[in-house]
């Protein structure tokens, strides 16, 4: 019942979820793109932000993975993914509240500036997070 309630709450917040960083702009979108003639499928978006920016949970949930540079949160049947983190400040199994810091943004070596990769999925199916975060 708790998972069903959390899933329904998450879904009802489509278009109103906070950004995982306070300031940033999307520098790489979700989905298929061609890079130097090679088709690539991006399972997330890349958000440019400031150095050591605080990365925060977009919704209440539980940490299901906390590895160096990567955090995955479960929100009922939905998951949020945060990667390219310089530091991780949560542990697996920990309950998380919306807006709670989970880590800090890391520098993208290829781009030369701080980037947080952010993705959403429902079960095993990832989807574009852009329409889910507030404008």
Over residues 124-133, the pLDDT tens digits come to: 999 999 999 9
- pTM of this prediction? 0.94
* Cα 88 from chain centre: 13
- Measured CA to CA, the distance from residue 79 to residue 37 in angstroms comes to 31
pLDDT, mean of residues 94-122: 96
Three-class secondary structure of residue 9 per DSSP: helix
Three-class secondary structure of residue 132 per DSSP: helix
DSSP 19: P
Instruction: Count Cα neighbours of 98 within 13 Å in the Cβ-side half-sphere.
Output: 13
Render pLDDT for 68-101 as a digit per residue (tens, 0 to 9).
999 999 999 999 999 999 999 999 999 999 999 9
């Amino acid at each position: 019942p708790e998972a069903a309630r959390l899933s329904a709450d998450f879904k009802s917040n489509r278009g109103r979820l906070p950004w995982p960083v306070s300031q940033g702009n999307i520098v790489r979108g979700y989905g298929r793109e061609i890079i130097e003639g090679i088709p690539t499928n991006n399972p997330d978006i890349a958000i440019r932000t400031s150095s050591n920016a605080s990365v925060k949970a977009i919704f209440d949930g539980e940490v299901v993975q906390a590895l160096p540079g990567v955090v995955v949160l479960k929100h009922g049947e939905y998951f949020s993914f945060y990667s390219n983190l310089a530091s991780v400040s949560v542990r697996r199994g920990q309950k998380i509240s919306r807006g709670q810091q989970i880590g800090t943004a890391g520098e993208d070596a290829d781009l030369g500036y701080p980037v947080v990769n952010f993705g959403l999925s429902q079960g095993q199916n990832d989807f574009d997070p852009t329409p889910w975060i507030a404008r």
